[in-house]
Amino acid sequence: EGRLGFVRAEVTGGIVAGMISVPASMGYAILAFAPLGPALLPDAVRAGLLAIIVGCTVALLSGGRTTFAYAPRSVVAFLISALLLQSSGEARAWAEASGSVRGMFVLILTITVLAGIFQALFGVLRIGRLVKYIPAPAIAGFQNAAAALILGAQFGSLLGFPDPLPIAAIVSRFDEVELLTMLVGVTTCAVTLKGARLVRGVSPTLLGITTGTVLYYGLAMVGFKDYLGPVIGKIPTGLPDVEIAGEMARMIFLPAIEPLLPTIIGGALSIAVVASLDGMLCARIIAADARKRIDGNRELVRLGVGNVVSPLIGGMALGLNLAASFAAQRAGARTSWSVAVHGVFVIACMLLLPPIIEIMPRAVIAGMLSAVAIQLVDRWTLRLIMTLLKGEAAHRPRMLVDLGIVVVVAVIAIAVDLVLAVCLGVSVAVVFFLMRMSRSVVRRSYRGDQVRSRIARDTASASLLAYRGIEILVLELEGALFFGTAERLDAAIERQCASSTRFLILDLKRVQDIDSTGARVLQQVCDRFARDARFVLLAGVPAGSVLGGLLGELGLLGAVTADRRFPDADRALEWAEDRILLEWRGARSPSDFPLGQLDLLHGMEEHEVSTMRSLLRLSRFQPGEVLFRAGDPGSDLFVIVSGRASATLELGAGREVRLITFAAGTAFGELGLLDQESRSATITADGELICYVLGRSDFVAVTRMYPGVAIKLLRNLSRELSYRLRWANRTVFE
CA dihedral sign of residues 324, 330, 331, 333: positive
pLDDT, residue 22, reads 84
Q: Specify the length of the chain in residues.
A: 734
DSSP tag of 620: E
pLDDT tens sequence across 175-232: 777 888 889 889 988 988 887 677 776 667 778 888 998 999 999 898 888 888 778 7
Note whether 299 and 280 are within 8 A (CB): yes
Q: Report whether 271 contacts 75 (CB < 8 A).
A: no
- Is it the case that residue 411 has pLDDT exceeding 80? yes
Give residue 379's pLDDT. Answer: 83
Phi, psi at 676, each rounded to 5°: 60, 20
The mean pLDDT of 139-161, rounded to a whole number, is 76
Give the pLDDT of residue 592. 47
Select the more confidently predicted residue: 697 or 140. 697
Is the model's pLDDT at 82 over the cut of 90?
no
Give the Å distances, CA to CA, from 648 to 223, 458, 462, 543, 625: 89, 20, 22, 21, 13
pLDDT in tens, 621-642: 999 999 999 889 888 999 888 8
Terminal alpha carbon distance of the chain: 67
The mean pLDDT of 377-397, rounded to a whole number, is 77
Separation of alpha carbons 664 and 641, rounded Å:
5
Q: Identify the three-state secondary structure at position 683.
A: strand
When mean pLDDT is compared across 93-102, 286-295, 346-355, 411-420, the lowest value belongs to 93-102
* Cα→Cα distances 647→204, 340, 657, 663, 734, Å: 64, 64, 9, 12, 22
What is the pLDDT, as a whole number, of residue 305?
93
Q: CA-CA distance, 486 to 439, in Å (whole number)?
A: 10
One-letter amino acid identity for 703? Answer: T
Put residue 77 in one of left, alpha, beta given phi > 0 → left and psi -120 to 50 → alpha: alpha
Backbone angles phi, psi at 187, to 5 degrees: -60, -45
Distance between CA atoms of residues 244 and 672, nearest Å = 88
| Structural contact between residues 520 and 490, judged by C-beta atoms closer than 8 angstroms | no
Cα separation, 191 vs 386, in Å, equals: 27
Mean pLDDT of 382-401: 76
pLDDT of residue 89: 47
Amino acid at 696: R
- Secondary structure (3-state) at 534: coil
Distance in angstroms (rounded) separating the CA atoms of residues 727 and 226: 89
pLDDT tens for 35-75 read: 777 777 778 888 899 999 999 999 999 888 888 889 998 77
Confidence (pLDDT) at 307: 93
Which is more confident, 534 or 482?
Answer: 534
* SS3 state of residue 152: helix
The answer, yes or no, to whether residue 88 has pLDDT greater than 50, is no
The whole-number pLDDT of residue 638 equals 92
Given CA atoms 593, 594, 597, 600 in this order, what sign does their dihedral have? positive
Q: With 80 as the cut, is the pLDDT of residue 533 above it?
A: yes
pLDDT, average across residues 375-394: 78
Average pLDDT, integer, range 489-500: 81
C-alpha distances (whole Å) from 56 to each of 284, 307, 529 are 18, 12, 66
Please say if the pLDDT value at position 591 is more than 50.
no
Across 433-438, average pLDDT? 63
User: pLDDT by residue (tens digit) across 548-567?
Assistant: 777 777 777 777 878 888 88
Does the pLDDT value for residue 416 go beyond 90? no
Helix (H, G, I), strand (E, B) or coil at 76: helix
Single-letter code of the amino acid located at 686? D
Task: Report the C-alpha gap between 717 and 174 in whole angstroms.
Answer: 93
Beta-sheet strands, E only, within 23-111: 70-71
User: What is the DSSP code string of 249-317?
Assistant: HHHHT-GGGGGGHHHHHHHHHHHHHHHHHHHHHHHHHHHHHHT----HHHHHHHHHHHHHHHHHTT---
The mean pLDDT value for 290-316 works out to 85
Residue pair 599/456 in contact by the 8 Å Cβ criterion: no
- Cα separation, 489 vs 445, in Å, equals 12
Pairing of β 655-662 and β 455-456: parallel
Q: Quick check: 294 and 279 in contact, CB under 8 A? A: no
| Residue among 549, 441, 457 at smallest CA distance from 491 | 441
Among 308, 274, 301, residue whose Cα is nearest residue 82 = 274
Beta strands at 617-621 and 689-694: parallel, antiparallel or unpaired? antiparallel
Question: What is the C-alpha separation between 60 and 53, in angstroms, rounded?
Answer: 11
3-class DSSP assignment, residue 677: coil
**Residues 437-488 pLDDT 10s:** 666 678 888 888 888 888 888 778 888 888 898 999 999 888 777 776 777 7
- Nearest Cα to Cα of residue 223 among 180, 264, 193: 180
What is the chain's mean pLDDT, rounded?
80
| Cα distance between residue 511 and residue 527, in whole Å | 22
What does the pLDDT average to over 599-624? Answer: 87
Mean pLDDT of 609-615: 87
pLDDT reading at 733 higher than 50: no
Q: What is the pLDDT of residue 167?
A: 65
Are 468 and 501 contacting, i.e. CB atoms less than 8 angstroms apart? no
Q: Which is nearest to 279 in space by CA: 255, 307, 251, 252?
A: 307
Q: Is 709 or 92 the better-scoring residue by pLDDT? A: 709
Percent of the chain at pLDDT > 70 equals 85
| Residue pair 583/544 in contact by the 8 Å Cβ criterion | no
Rg (the chain; Cα; Å): 38
Nearest to 342 by CA among 46, 70, 72: 70
Instruction: Report percent pLDDT > 90 for the chain.
Output: 11
Question: Whole-structure pTM over 0.75, yes or no?
Answer: no
